[in-house]
A and B are shown apart, each in its own frame.
Chain A
Amino acid sequence: MQVSMTVNGQQRTDEVEPRMLLAHHLRDNLGLTATNIGCDSTSCGACTVIVDGLTVKSCTVLALQAEGSEVTTLEGLSTDGELHPVQAAFRSEHGLQCGFCTSGMVMAAVGVLADNPNPTDREVREGLEGNLCRCTGYHNIVQAVLKAAESGPAAGQVPSSKQEVSA
């Protein structure tokens, strides 16, 4: 079947199997491999992307369900070579090690900050509960999100989206 969506600001139309997951569509058909798949039970959040302003786990959405949607992945977060505030904070605070959870964690963090621009340590932790990391112990991820919050509203926005972002 044919599916059309806007991915990182670009219109994409492809043939997909009806059962194809959005995560596989992004990775295998569109070559956007920053989005990772770490589990098969919607538990780890490595595949988190933003669809029409909402953070979603792309392993739990069919590509066809994103028909007509606006999708932002990690690759679409920075603009003109400048890191998004959340990306920049993950770097400065050493919020990533092996990097596998990072794409989903960054996208989820954008959603957390969209809903709560000035979160506490505990609120960040609650907000990221659906995203697992085995390397960092979450300490520096939390620090990175708190740091990104200092950048103001931009930390909770995505460049290509017309919609308001929410977790």
Chain B
Amino acid sequence: MSILGTRVVRTEDPLFLTRGAVYTDDLTDERLTGALHATFVRSTVAHGTVTEVDASAAREAPGVVAVYTAEDLGDLQPVPPPLPFLDAGFSRPWLVPVGGRVHFVGDLVAVVLTEERYQGEDAAEAVVVDVDPLPAVVGTAAAATDETVLFPEVGTNKVAAFGEPAPDDFFADCEVVVTRAIANQRVAAAPLETRAASAAWGEDGRVTIWCTNQGAQQAKGQIAGWLGLDAEKVHLITPDVGGGFGAKIGADQEYAFVAWLAQQAGRPVRWTESRSENMTGMLQGRAQDQVITIGGDRDGTVKAYSLVVQQDCGAYPRIGTVLPTLTMLMAAAVYDIPKVHAQATCYATNGTSIGAYRGAGRPEATAAAERAMDLFAAEIGMDPADVRRKNFIPAFTEPFTTASGATYDSGDYTAALDRVLEAAGYADLRAEQARRRERGDARQLGIGISAYVEITGADSGHGTSENAELEVHPDGTATVLTGTSPHGQGHATTWAMLASEQLGIPVEKITVLHGDTDRIPDGGGTMGSRSLQQGGAAVHQAAVELVEVARKRAAELLEANPDDLEVDLANAGLSVKGTPGTGITWAQLAADEQLIVQTTFTANAPTFPFGAHVAVVETDVESGKAVVTRLVTVDDAGTIINPLLAEGQRHGGIAQGVGQALLEEILYDEDGNPQTSTFADYPFVSATELPSFELVEMATPTPMNPLGAKGIGEAGTIGSTPAVQSAVVDSVAHLGVRHVDMPATSMRVWKAIREAQKGSTN
């Protein structure tokens, strides 16, 4: 029986559950013996000119070995923005010098090295930093005016622009046109493990860097480049990683800084940030202001749709600058709309830099499209499920290109919606809703629907390729090396399943290694839901190739025709056809000569998972508080290799979507001061705010890889966010409310009801 498709519990877990995983701050590597602790001094002002940095008192503080300010940086050059088309004027200094500008609360001004961890905090507080404040630019609207320009040498806050305005007559043939400004707010990725890095230089002139990251190879290249090091001098290791969600893609400047400091000090250096440091220093997500316009006829046919995005990039533009292009690509969503327009403008602001966050550009597209469909449905008085059905792309098995230019591999959106509505008991829910409305209950029911399609396995810097190395050892165990970078996804288990399927070696005897650039010099890491469909496919391919290598060798040893040999899974080797147990094992072959395969799998194209979610909320119309009572989801990610882990990915994604829809938002005051920089202030979604989820199965294999698998890591978030938002709106729709921005907090819902009751349609 195939192991694929079965619920194999994780091989990682026994250690994780008894000794704990080994994260960067847990390392006891002997190369880190005697390490100093780095503590950064960060700007507490969002925008201003540094007038003084006085480290004299800090240098005298207990345990201080060194304090570095901008004057002590030697020939370190500012780090340019990560995209070649961006103005070099957006470069980020290592430490902001006197006379230079700080651009967000959290910008680096100085760094102290101390013998002990606690001494670092004391010494950092003793560094005096004076800043002459400038007006802060908070949000895209303020940035777009250019009244205050963050980088005078650039001359504008506009970082990039994609697309053109829609033609004037874009909606001319529509009976009904609805337009609305909506927010896809700034949120924190908030992996439970904050950022951390350690570095030690060897006598061979090479530096070993340990850091918590989603792709060792990419991070290594960046750090070497920033420090002007020969890439071969850098050995980067990602130990166990405590969550990433996109915010640990690419190196952060602090990581390179730790390596530089270790070189300067001539001693190893460790750095682990605090949560409050993390909440201003780590890449954040979303941060789009959108204007959606949808037009069509009263029979429910949508004829034209426009999405105009203003992207907040934060202080120093990073990868968030190009994520709107994914939003634009996916603008048409699951709909066969004749005309789709999408456009984006990206701005620098005095906030934390924006990067990828679970979904990274696609949740923004889905949220916009689903809000538009709901607004259109409300305007013409049609059930939102019916409007969707009327406009879905019909089921397809051959590639379909949308009006926004994406070519989807396979999909059946109607089936996904029908399945989720049936599982949710849609008709019964509507009936219950009607009863409560009629009674005028304080607790009203809201039903939110979303249908989505997303792009996974797109080129995120490594094409659509991934590598795998597979070796079987003479003792019958095997080792897999992968260029993917698990941080909770369970690749050690799933990759072992894929090798076991071909070789018959038990999963427990297969070790999966990742995240070490000396052992795995090339790899694309784990991001964009690429791992299984590319990295997993590479492991599968390696196992298939290893069988062929073994078959040739075995044929010679057994003096048999290779075609007469077949894989004997029960004996983990090859046998002469029809006589199992008579042949030779992989282990015996490996004892004779190293049995190893290195291979690269390249997918023809990205894949497009899809699904539909139903969220049910109960809203107290007197307080505005909405509680999610049910979440029913169909998430079709093609063939599932390990349902236990795939469901886990869906669960986590769904919860993060609820968090964004109802609770979470990074806020700044008008001076750019973060208002949500601890977990006491930031409403990270907890167990009490969630129901248990109802997952419905659906699997439409993709032809893009031999596994038939699409990405699953981000789907839950993409589907659940708009479903929950819609459910909240729906719960108070009978009171005249048409829209509530995310997060749909009690205050927002309460205000929306009050506004609607004043007579102005919200």
- Does B488 lie at the interface of the complex (its beta carbon under 8 Å from any beta carbon of A)? yes
| Interface pair A39/B193, CB less than 8 Å apart | no
| Interface pair A106/B679, CB less than 8 Å apart | no
List the A residue with the shortest CB-CB distance to B681: A41
- Does A92 lie at the interface of the complex (its beta carbon under 8 Å from any beta carbon of B)? yes
- Does A54 lie at the interface of the complex (its beta carbon under 8 Å from any beta carbon of B)? no
| Interface pair A28/B688, CB less than 8 Å apart | no
Q: Identify the stretch in B21-29, B327-335, B515-523 within 8 Å (CB) of chain A at 4 or more residues.
A: B21-29
| Interface pair A129/B192, CB less than 8 Å apart | no
| Interface pair A135/B276, CB less than 8 Å apart | no
| Interface pair A100/B679, CB less than 8 Å apart | no
Collect the chain B residues with CB atoms within 8 Å of residue A98's CB: 21, 191-193, 240-243, 487-488
Collect the chain A residues with CB atoms within 8 Å of residue B192's CB: 36, 38, 44, 46, 98, 100-101, 132-135
Collect the chain B residues with CB atoms within 8 Å of residue A42's CB: 680
Collect the chain A residues with CB atoms within 8 Å of residue B653's CB: 137
| Interface pair B243/A134, CB less than 8 Å apart | yes
A137 to B688, CA, bound (A): 11
- Does A35 lie at the interface of the complex (its beta carbon under 8 Å from any beta carbon of B)? yes
| Interface pair B647/A36, CB less than 8 Å apart | no
A104 CB to nearest B CB, Å: 9
Partner of A99, one of B488, B651, B652, B716: B488
| Interface pair A134/B191, CB less than 8 Å apart | yes
A20 CB to nearest B CB, Å: 7
Max chain A Cβ within 10 angstroms of own Cβ: one of B14, B489, B647: B14
List the B residue with the shortest CB-CB distance to A33: B26
Looking at chain B's contact residues, the main secondary structure is loop
A98 to B686, CA, bound (A): 17
A85 CB to nearest B CB, Å: 12
Partner of A90, one of B13, B117, B194, B656: B13
B7 CB to nearest A CB, Å: 8
List the B residue with the shortest CB-CB distance to A32: B20
- Does B415 lie at the interface of the complex (its beta carbon under 8 Å from any beta carbon of A)? no
A41 to B683, CA, bound (A): 13
Collect the chain B residues with CB atoms within 8 Å of residue A56's CB: none
A87 to B16, CA, bound (A): 10
| Interface pair A137/B690, CB less than 8 Å apart | yes
| Interface pair B243/A87, CB less than 8 Å apart | no
Collect the chain A residues with CB atoms within 8 Å of residue B25's CB: 27, 33
| Interface pair A129/B688, CB less than 8 Å apart | yes
List the A residue with the shortest CB-CB distance to B28: A31
Partner of B194, one of A17, A33, A38, A91: A38
21 examples of A-B residue contacts, CB within 8 angstroms: A19-B118, A27-B26, A38-B679, A40-B275, A41-B678, A43-B684, A83-B17, A94-B644, A96-B16, A97-B652, A98-B191, A100-B242, A102-B16, A102-B21, A126-B688, A129-B688, A133-B192, A133-B687, A134-B245, A137-B651, A137-B690
B-side residues, CB < 8 A to A, are: 9-10, 12-14, 16-23, 25-26, 28, 117-118, 190-194, 240-243, 245, 274-276, 487-490, 644-645, 647-648, 651-656, 678-680, 684, 686-688, 690, 692-693, 716
Pairs A-B, 7 closest by C-beta atoms:
A34-B20, A137-B655, A100-B242, A97-B488, A98-B488, A43-B679, A137-B651
